[in-house]
Amino acid sequence: MESNRSQIFAIEKAKENEVLAIKQTNKELMKEIADKTRQLTKKQKDVEDLTHQLDTISLSQERKYGDEITLLRTRLNELEKVNKELDSINQANDVRLQMMVEQLKEKYNLQLMTLEAKLKNEMDKNKNLLSKAR
């Protein structure tokens, strides 16, 4: 019996040592898990910070380019309006110029006809004078 007791005691002692070893391994693994969890949490925070920074930069760029696009569209619309106005002014000027040319033609034609009539009248007077003088 004594030998059974010794064997049981040795087995219990071996089991206790095994349990202690398992507890020690478990403790080390828990520390490692805690360390890895801290590292993972830090990396997740870094990723979140970087994501936030990228989102902020992206938003800023979108606003900037959106504002520039809006400004360029506004300028383009203004330039198109100015171009239409200039086309309209040019057309009006063309019409006015054509009318002025027509008026000048009429004026010079009237002056020419007046001068021709005066010349004819003078020639007739000269012919009359010449025929009276003969």
> 134: which DSSP letter?
-
Tokens of 107: 């004026």
pLDDT of residue 127: 87
Q: What is the pLDDT of residue 132?
A: 80
pLDDT computed for residue 121 by the predictor: 93
**pLDDT value of residue 59:** 92
Query: Measured on CA atoms in the order 12, 14, 17, 23, is the torsion positive or negative?
Result: negative
Q: To which residue do tokens 């106005």 refer? A: 85
User: Is the pTM of the predicted complex or chain greater than 0.75?
Assistant: no
Amino acid at 72: L
In whole angstroms, what is the distance from residue 79 CA to residue 74 CA? 9
Residue 63 DSSP one-character state? H
Distance of CA 98 to the CA centre of its chain: 44
pLDDT 10s digit of each residue in the chain, 134 long? Answer: 678 888 888 889 999 999 999 999 999 999 999 999 999 999 999 999 999 999 999 999 999 999 999 999 999 999 999 999 999 999 999 999 999 999 999 999 999 999 999 999 999 888 888 788 76
At position 83, the amino acid (one-letter code) is: N
Tokens 């992206």, residue located: 58
